[in-house]
Structures are given as C-alpha cells and as structure tokens.
Structure 1
Amino acid sequence: MAVNDECKLKFMELKAKRNYRFIVFKIEEKTQNVMIDKLGEPESNFDDFTSSLPANECRYAVFDFDFVTDENCHKSRIFFIAWSPDTSRVRNKMLYASTKDRFKRELDGIQVELQATDPSEISIDIIKGRAI
C-alpha cells in the first residue's frame, strides 16, 4: 500500500499551518494508493466533517479539534478517525483495517485515535471527551 506524497504534505499543512480543519483520505483500490478525498477549509466545522464521510464506504480522516479547557486555555488535538460503516462491503472494511496502522505511521503528530462504524461513535460529545 503506497501513500501519495500529497497526503503527507496536506497533513503537515494541517498540523503546522492549520490550513485545513480536516482531511478525508480514501484508498484507490485499483492502484493500491491512499489519496486525498476531501479537504475541509479552516472555517469548516464538525458537521461539515461528519457530512463528508460516505455512508457506505470506509475512509481514514484527520480532524483538528479546537477546545477550551476548564482553566480557560485554548488547545487543539489532532484526531485520526478510521471510518468503517457497517453498511460498507466486507472487502472494503478488510482493506482499511489491514492498512490502518501503516498509514497512521506516515502521519506524524496524531494525538487521538478513534474507530467508528456509525455516526453516533464520532459525535461531538465523544470527540470532546477524548480531547481532554
């Protein structure tokens, strides 16, 4: 499984320059390459992110979550989300599951990892709970 250089470049821009709020990645099955599916602009919100995940196909995603702590400190966490809906094909789920760790290692700076099979598993409340 090869990772397109653009994936790493855009992730570094998200991490260092905050040029994006989120990035959704997909595996191109024919070429066995991980490619960028969607980029979320910095002003995008969590609903924009969740609506960009397809209902019947797996994806990898990173989301830059900003929050304020109880001490009134502004912080951010970069989430890696393995999106694997129950309605996706078995072959698709197996492909994403078997390549997840290798792909995640390519993205240096992931702080929190989530696995989700339906939208309730990546609600904003779960993201907030895991960020602290």
Structure 2
Amino acid sequence: MDKITVCNKSPYFCLVENHVLGIPERLKQIDKSYFVVWNSKKEKFEVHSEDNVGSTYCFTVPYRELDCRTLEYARETRIERSDIVFVEIEKQDEIIEKAVKREREKLFDDIGREVFDRAMFEERSTKEV
C-alpha cells in the first residue's frame, strides 16, 4: 500500500516528507520503502513501509523527535538483522540459564548442608542424654 493511501485511511496520520535533519529522506537510504508519519492520536512518529503486506507499520519511533537515533533504530530493527538478533538472544539466554543453574545448585548445596548440620546436632543431642 502506498504512503498516500495509508495517510488518507487514518485521520490521525500526517505524512512527514520534509524534516530539518532530513530524517525521512535518510531513512530511504536504509530502505527505499520507508516513510514517516506523525500519529496525532499517539503523539508519536511512526515508520511504515510500502513493501509490507497487510499493514505498513514497522515501528514507533521511541524518541520524542526525529534525529539520528531514529536512523540507528531503523538499522537495528531491519529484518536483515534478524539472524544477528537471534544469535544475541541465544547468547543472553545461555547466560541466564547458567546463572539460574548456579543459583539452583547453590540452593541445593545450602539445603544439603542445613540438613546435614541438623542431623549432626540431633545425633549429638541424643548421645548427650
């Protein structure tokens, strides 16, 4: 769906084609199908793609204004980066799993020591009587 049609369908969308920092134009260097709209209902900028099937929505700009961070965010969220993102997620999951395993082993070790200490105390108590 083209950007004019998208903006005409929603009373809340205003197409942003010009910007003092040239962000809409620079987004096209990342992906030629990108376009920017101001969503007046959410009071946020959104990036859409004419190449998307169904909805053109890609992401909401997580900053109050359009600037170079928007370009970096667009690069980070590109579908071509999905393999890299999945690898990063898997690495983070491994780190979390190892931490959970260490905590579980420490807990079991602590419980074992406590049971052993109580058993020894009970044994000493019965010998003293």
The normalised TM-score by structure 2 is 0.28
User: Which structure dedicates a bigger proportion of its chain to helix?
Assistant: 2
Larger radius of gyration: 2
The normalised TM-score by structure 1 is 0.27
Say which structure, 1 or 2, has more relative contact order (CA 8 Å, 6+ apart).
1
User: Which structure dedicates a bigger proportion of its chain to strand?
Assistant: 1
